[in-house]
């Protein structure tokens, strides 16, 4: 569950409209639910000029498919040109070195443009650094980024 301090940080991030909001937590604790809620809020009462929601695995699959028909830069621009980008489930892609490079390009583009980007993940900050490299980790966890750690239980788990 998000505490009042975390809710304030999240609201400040929405108002600031730049950099990264990284939502870290255990599987099933509500990260995707929160991200979908932010997208639905935007769709009901637009907060941003444009917004896009991708699951990491879906995003990488789409980029790989589309590379057959267009240039890599055009496809990357499609994935990054919205004012708000929600990247759900960072660490789930499983596309190896190619996927890590694509995600770095995406993160680097968003970072350079100072566009608001929400990332949800089960990975810790040190795991992201280990999996994706120091260059990406440095951008995601920049001093201007907001990091919210949720330690809730798996709400999808069956109770016996």
At the topology level, CATH places domain 4-150 in: Rossmann fold (3.40.50)
Q: Is the pTM of this model over 0.85?
A: yes
For residue 100, give the nearest of 125, 135, 62, 67 by alpha carbon.
Answer: 135
Considering only the C-alpha atoms of the chain, give the largest distance between any 2 of them, rounded to a whole number of Å.
Answer: 52
State pLDDT tens for residues 19-70.
899 999 998 888 999 899 989 888 888 888 899 999 999 999 989 888 888 8
State pLDDT tens for residues 114-141.
999 999 999 999 999 999 999 999 999 9
Q: What residue segments make up the domains of the chain, in order of their start?
A: 4-150
């Amino acid at each position: 569950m998000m505490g009042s301090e975390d809710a304030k940080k999240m609201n400040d991030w929405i108002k600031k409209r730049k950099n990264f909001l990284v939502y870290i937590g255990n599987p099933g604790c509500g990260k995707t639910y929160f991200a979908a809620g932010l997208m639905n809020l935007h769709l009901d009462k637009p907060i941003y000029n444009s917004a896009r929601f991708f699951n990491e695995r879906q995003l990488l699959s789409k980029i790989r498919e589309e590379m057959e028909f267009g240039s890599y830069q055009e496809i990357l621009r499609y994935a990054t040109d919205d004012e708000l980008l929600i990247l759900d489930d960072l660490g789930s892609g499983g596309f190896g070195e190619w996927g890590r490079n694509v995600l770095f390009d995406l993160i680097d583009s968003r970072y350079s443009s100072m566009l608001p980007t929400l990332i949800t993940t089960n990975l810790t900050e040190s795991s992201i650094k280990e999996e994706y490299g120091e260059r990406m980790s440095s951008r995601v966890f920049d001093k201007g980024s907001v990091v919210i750690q949720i330690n809730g239980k798996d709400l999808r788990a069956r109770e016996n």
